[in-house]
Amino acid sequence: AQSVTQPDIHITVSEGASLELRCNYSYGATPYLFWYVQSPGQGLQLLLKYFSGDTLVQGIKGFEAEFKRSQSSFNLRKPSVHWSDAAEYFCAVGRGGADGLTFGKGTHLIIQP
Amino acid sequence: GAVVSQHPSRVICKSGTSVKIECRSLDFQATTMFWYRQFPKQSLMLMATSNEGSKATYEQGVEKDKFLINHASLTLSTLTVTSAHPEDSSFYICSATPPGQAEAFFGQGTRLTVV
């Protein structure tokens, strides 16, 4: 069965500092990997996705993520966070199409001034 | 990107009543849609897969008689929470994937409060 682990429930980062959110997955086949962001009471916004090819993917809002097959990881990074980045971040795995997604428990990002 | 619209965004209902939530794909046809549930400060859990023209597929532990799903057209799936109770209060989100794509697009979610 597939699973996604986000080991950090909360992360606090100073504005302007770099950020890395961790994600590890377990999946029986080559997965599609996603990072979503959710603001309070809102739906999900896709930050970036990995299907195949270059293992470093660029997303919106200055985010990037690196797929490491050997570590079953898909960590999200941003070189310099902004106060508006404070939100809940979810890593997800799936195959698209007729399959739903399996989500991690999320990481709550707090930005300190 | 594709657009998935969910309605209503918020609903309050009395215990024992039923509530219907709509999920529409606005600019593509979706033979499959997905319904998720999110408890406060928790992750999204897949509840069921809605299949156009056939029965929905429910995840283990989800009561299909309580959460009725109808996918009557290629652009509309509905989730009806029947005989709602306070423990059904949650955030419900739907998603759909355009044909030939792997990326899921999500509705804005529905906050259900049962009083």
If pLDDT is split at 50, 70 and 90, which confidence band does A43 have? confident
Find the distance separating the first CA and the last CA of chain A, reported in whole Å: 41
Task: Give me the pLDDT at residue B40, please.
Answer: 81
If pLDDT is split at 50, 70 and 90, which confidence band does A32 have? very high
> Does B49 touch chain A if contact means CB atoms closer than 8 Å?
yes
Chain B contact set for A42 (CB, 8 A): 108-109
- The answer to which of A15-19, A41-45, A72-76, B69-73 has the lowest mean pLDDT is A41-45
Mind listing the pLDDT tens digit for each residue in B7-40? Answer: 999 999 999 999 999 999 999 999 899 999 998 8
Contact criterion met (CB < 8 Å) for B104 and A98: no
Mind listing the pLDDT tens digit for each residue in B65-77? Answer: 999 999 989 999 9
- In this predicted structure, the answer to whether residue A110 has a pLDDT above a threshold of 90 is yes
Work out the average pLDDT over A91-100. Answer: 83
Chain A contact set for B34 (CB, 8 A): 100-101
If pLDDT is split at 50, 70 and 90, which confidence band does A99 have? confident
3 state DSSP class of A79 = coil
Contact criterion met (CB < 8 Å) for B95 and A100: yes
Chain A contact set for B57 (CB, 8 A): none
Buried b (16+ CB within 10 A) or exposed e, A9-30: eebebeeeeebebbbbbebeee
Of the candidates A49, A90, A98, the beta carbon closest to that of B103 is on A49
- In this predicted structure, the answer to whether residue A97 has a pLDDT above a threshold of 70 is no
Task: Give me the pLDDT at residue A85, please.
Answer: 96
Rounded to an integer, what distance in angstroms lies between the CA atom of residue B108 and that of residue B91?
10
Task: Give me the pLDDT at residue B99, please.
Answer: 87
The residue of chain B with its CA nearest to that of A51 is B102
Contact criterion met (CB < 8 Å) for A106 and B6: no
Contact criterion met (CB < 8 Å) for B43 and A90: yes
How distant is the Cα of B23 from the closest Cα of chain A, in angstroms? 13
